[in-house]
Homo-oligomer: A and B are copies of this chain.
Amino acid sequence: MKITVLKNVMCKNNAVGEDNRQQFKDHKILTLNLLSSPGAGKTTLLEKTLQLLHKKYKTAVIEGDLYTSRDAERLARFDIPLIQINTEGGCHLDARMIATAMEGLPLNSLDVLFIENVGNLVCPSSFDLGESKRVLLYSVTEGEDKPSKYATMFQAADLVLINKTDLARACGIDLQVMKQEITKINPRAKIYTLCAKDELTLSSWISWIEENLNEIKSR
């Protein structure tokens, strides 16, 4: 019975997710669902990414957190549309939360919408938000064994960003092994390495965003 209830919840979520996706398509918006463990660097990546993109493109952010608006406050200086969702203990964002947030966004004029999901390597993987792509941030400090241990999350990623490469040596991490572990679980995922706090390492990530945005705009 528990499973039936869960299936119903998921069906409803996915239906709303598809509605969201259609709206994003109609408005030619690239929507990126950013996923990771707590503290893997999503907000830092967003800060640096917005710094590089917010003048060139119309960007917006939906910030998901259990409690507090700390992350949203860190992004406030960009003066872009920014919507905070507090899940009040809930472990993931769902499509309905995004649908509600979309009502407060200028969809007609947006290019890129970043959704920062709740820091959790399990539950958010099961909830389609209607995003264009799923971006998984994976910190070297978490160790090389996470792709097979959190397979559902890694299988659902379009792009995996290996973050905090400056700590790889101190953590005894071999980046090649880390990439192989990801590819074993998800051969179709793109993988880039970066250090989110250092803008100079973000060029592949930024190019990937621009390529995907161009593809959407040219449809």
A residues apposed to B, CB below 8 Å: 2, 5, 9, 37-39, 65-68, 70, 89-91, 118-123, 126, 139, 141-143, 145-146, 148-152, 164, 166-167, 170-171
Determine if B167 and A122 form an interchain contact, defined as CB atoms under 8 angstroms apart: no
Partner of A149, one of B65, B149, B150, B167: B65
* A139-B141, A146-B38 known; A67 vs B122 contact (CB < 8 Å): no
Partner of A141, one of B120, B141, B151: B141
Determine if A66 and B141 form an interchain contact, defined as CB atoms under 8 angstroms apart: no
Expressed in whole angstroms, the Cα–Cα distance for A167 and B39 within the complex equals: 14
Identical chains bound together, number: 2
Partner of A120, one of B2, B39, B70, B121: B121
Determine if B38 and A70 form an interchain contact, defined as CB atoms under 8 angstroms apart: no
Closest Cβ of chain B to A44, distance in Å, is 9
Closest Cβ of chain B to A164, distance in Å, is 7
Determine if A150 and B37 form an interchain contact, defined as CB atoms under 8 angstroms apart: no
Expressed in whole angstroms, the Cα–Cα distance for A123 and B121 within the complex equals: 11
Partner of A122, one of B9, B68, B91, B171: B91
Expressed in whole angstroms, the Cα–Cα distance for A90 and B65 within the complex equals: 21
Determine if A148 and B39 form an interchain contact, defined as CB atoms under 8 angstroms apart: no
List residues of chain B with CB within 8 A of the CB of A152. Answer: 66, 89
Expressed in whole angstroms, the Cα–Cα distance for A212 and B169 within the complex equals: 37
Expressed in whole angstroms, the Cα–Cα distance for A118 and B146 within the complex equals: 12
List residues of chain B with CB within 8 A of the CB of A118. Answer: 122
